Amino acid sequence: MHHRSGFFFTRFQMLKSPYSHGLHWFAILVALCALGLIGMGGLVTSHGVGMAVPDWPTSYGYNMFALPISMWLTGGVFHEHTHRLWASALGVLVIALTRWIGGRQSRLPLAIIGGVEVVAGQALILLGGEWKGAGHFLSGIGGVVLLAALVWAPNERSSRPLPTLAWLAFWGVQLQGLLGGLRVVLDAHLFAGTRLGVWFGVFHGCLAQAFLVLVVVIAVMSSRWWVERATAAPGTARSKVLLFTTGLIFLQLIIGATMRHQHAGLAIPDFPKAYGAWWPDLSESAVTQYNANRVELSAHNPITAFQIGLQMVHRLVALTIAMLVGACLWRAKGALRRLCSAWFILIIIQAGLGMWTIWSNKAADVATLHVITGALSLVTGAVICLISGKLSPTRD
């Protein structure tokens, strides 16, 4: 009799579980879309076609969603316009995710936010000039938010910290969309002849990586495994090494983004050496000679000593990351060992793609694969850090 009552109690607990199969897989879909968008952004940067569509949020004067298909095939329009459409779709998915995780309690905040965005957007449109594009963007996204608020589904709010993370994703995707659009709008004015456009692009790229980590964390925390497993005591030395290594990967992605957005081609054209030496000469006369001997067809700007030094730092950090991930794999046990094995394999693939990028004279497709694998390496590290706190010391 006791066994039977225990069985029904267990079934009752499962029915009350905050786990939602649909929510978990929807969060995975959002994460995959975010990864795809990073890949598209990498193609745009690698091909140097960020301004292939010179207006925003319209595309050659057309509504973004009504640009004739025939115009997509000219120049770099295909990469840039597809990037915009995919970003718009991701924004809608994130709003839906916020509504789902926030439950019926999120309807009022969404209605208020959507209303404010529509009003603010219309005000910016009235200002005209460079503010008009941002106004149309805010009005459009505000309308989508209002529609989400009208969805009557009576679901309850997910357990903490998912609602907080969902709202961070909600604001993050809007900020990212606004930054991408403003870079187009301001490129011919505020950024003309300055380095601001480069750093604007770097921030845009790094925010995309951070956003991907955020939505992957949501996907992990909405899984059955996470919801039904008791939390172990965090703070072990091993966890600190994992966190440091993951943070170093993010720093490496920042360095990589800075290099890509310089639009100067390959700062160092050979590997494993650099201009025939293990550490290149960075004097002014040497850099002048490097530029005079360049054979790249895709380079737009002359390379500088800073860019060469940055490339060398990128190589050294890559070596450090490989050793640290190897150390994490060596010390890991059980489930963490399997995850760290996948992590180490990704790092090896990433290193190979980095070499291939140089040997292929920075071929756009290879460079984009390098970007995507870097994002996957960062996400894998973040997931391992997250899961390590859930695994008991006797099993990790």
Question: What is 97-140 written as a DSSP string?
Answer: HHHHHHGGGGHHHHHHHHHHHHHHHHHHHHH-TTHHHHHHHHHH
Burial class (CB in 10 A: 0-12, 13-18, 19+), 149: buried
pLDDT number for residue 8: 36
What are the extents of the domains in the chain?
A: 19-228, 236-396
pLDDT number for residue 3: 45
pLDDT number for residue 232: 46
Angle between helices 237-260 and 305-331 (to 10 degrees): 150
The pTM for the full model equals 0.86
pLDDT number for residue 263: 66
Question: What is 20-69 written as a DSSP string?
Answer: -HHHHHHHHHHHHHHHHHHHHHHHHHHHT-TTSS-SSSSBTTB-GGG--H
Beta carbons within 8 Å of 38's beta carbon, 6+ residues apart: 208, 209, 212, 371, 372, 375
Sign of CA dihedral 34, 38, 43, 45: positive
Q: Which two tokens stand for residue 364?
A: 């756009």
pLDDT number for residue 77: 87
pLDDT number for residue 296: 60
Tens-binned pLDDT, residue by residue, of the chain (396 aa)? 444 444 333 333 333 446 678 899 999 999 999 999 999 988 888 877 777 888 778 788 888 888 888 888 777 888 888 999 999 999 999 999 999 999 999 999 999 999 999 999 999 888 877 677 778 888 889 999 999 999 888 888 888 899 999 999 999 999 998 888 777 777 655 555 556 667 777 888 899 999 999 999 999 999 988 887 755 444 444 578 999 999 999 999 999 988 887 766 688 889 999 999 999 999 999 999 988 887 665 446 788 899 999 999 999 999 999 999 999 999 888 878 999 999 999 999 999 999 999 998 888 889 999 999 999 999 999 999 998 877 654 444
Grouping H, G, I as helix, E, B as strand and the rest as coil, residue 76 is coil
pLDDT number for residue 11: 38
Could you give the dihedral angle defined by the CA atoms of residues 114, 117, 122 and 127, in that order, rounded to the nearest 10 degrees? 180
Alpha helices in the chain (DSSP H): 2-16, 21-47, 69-72, 77-102, 107-127, 131-150, 162-187, 196-221, 224-228, 237-260, 284-292, 305-331, 334-359, 364-388
CA-based nearest residue to 66, from 51, 91, 85? 85
- Rounded to whole angstroms, the Cα distance separating 66 from 17 reads 44
pLDDT number for residue 15: 36
Q: Are 162 and 223 in contact (CB under 8 A)?
A: no
